[in-house]
Amino acid sequence: MATTNNIANTGSGPIVPEVVIQRLPRYVRVLTQFADSGEKVISSEQLGTRLQMTPAQIRKDLSYFGRFGKQGRGYDIAMLEGQLRTILGLDRTWNAAVVGMGRLGRAVVSYPGFAPEGFNILAAFDASDDIVGQTISGLQVRSISELKTSVQNLDIKIGIVTVPIEHAQEVIDALVDAGIRSILNYAPLSPQVPKGVTVRGIDPVLSLQSMTYYIR
């Protein structure tokens, strides 16, 4: 589930299909794995095998952003990984906030995998007086009424929504009003957002429902 335009403009470059942008982090992950194993050069065939894609599709995806390899010689792994990280904005850190400190929200702020990839969760919010003021994974839970001020003071760029579906749209509206333009939404909802706001949805039920097609 994702709410965004299906194409994106890289600035002075060509218009890039949204599906291509969503594949770039997968390229970065595989390149990192190859680099960690000591590999220096990788071919589109090797990338395709690991990602279950055709080499032609990989070459087409990368061509939106320039020329990275030479025919017959493959791609310099360190160079390509660095370039893709820059394109994705992964060459810097990003501050994030989580809204909703139920079981899911607590799991998200406790997850150790965000910080090593440059995503710092600096604030947690909830609407319940019973939860506000608690310290969870080193973060003191703030009232949702403090959202706008906290976003500005902490330079938060990403909102993570972990509230029940019946509250998701109003929380997303509040994040947008606070100036957040990138939102990760765990609620099983396709929210309405204004142009210029990107929402990525994580819904494991949808993934399970698509998997049962193959095992029914």
Helices (H), the chain: 18-36, 44-51, 55-63, 77-88, 103-110, 147-153, 165-177, 204-215
The reply to whether domains 2-88 and 94-206 share a CATH topology is no
- Report the pLDDT value the prediction gives residue 68, as an integer from 0 to 100: 81
The overall pTM is greater than 0.95: no
Supply 172's token pair.
């997303």
- Report the pLDDT value the prediction gives residue 15, as an integer from 0 to 100: 87
- Report the pLDDT value the prediction gives residue 5, as an integer from 0 to 100: 43
CB 80 within 8 A of CB 103: no
Is residue 38 exposed (0-12), middle (13-18) or buried (19+ Cβ within 10 Å)? exposed
Q: Residue 85 and residue 78: Cα distance in Å, rounded?
A: 11
List CB contacts of 28: < 8 A, sequence separation 6 or more: 81, 84, 85, 88, 90
Domain made up of 94-206: CATH architecture: 3-Layer(aba) Sandwich (3.40)
Q: State pLDDT tens for residues 109-124.
A: 999 999 999 999 999 9
Q: Extract the residue ranges of the chain whose pLDDT is less than 50.
A: 2-7, 10
Residue 44: HSE in the Cβ half-sphere, 13 Å Cα cutoff:
18
Q: Residue 88 and residue 133: Cα distance in Å, rounded?
A: 35
| 2-88 CATH fold | Arc Repressor Mutant, subunit A (1.10.10)
- Report the pLDDT value the prediction gives residue 13, as an integer from 0 to 100: 58
- Report the pLDDT value the prediction gives residue 72, as an integer from 0 to 100: 66
Bridge partners of 125?
99, 142
- Report the pLDDT value the prediction gives residue 67, as an integer from 0 to 100: 82
Q: Where are the domains of the chain?
A: 2-88, 94-206
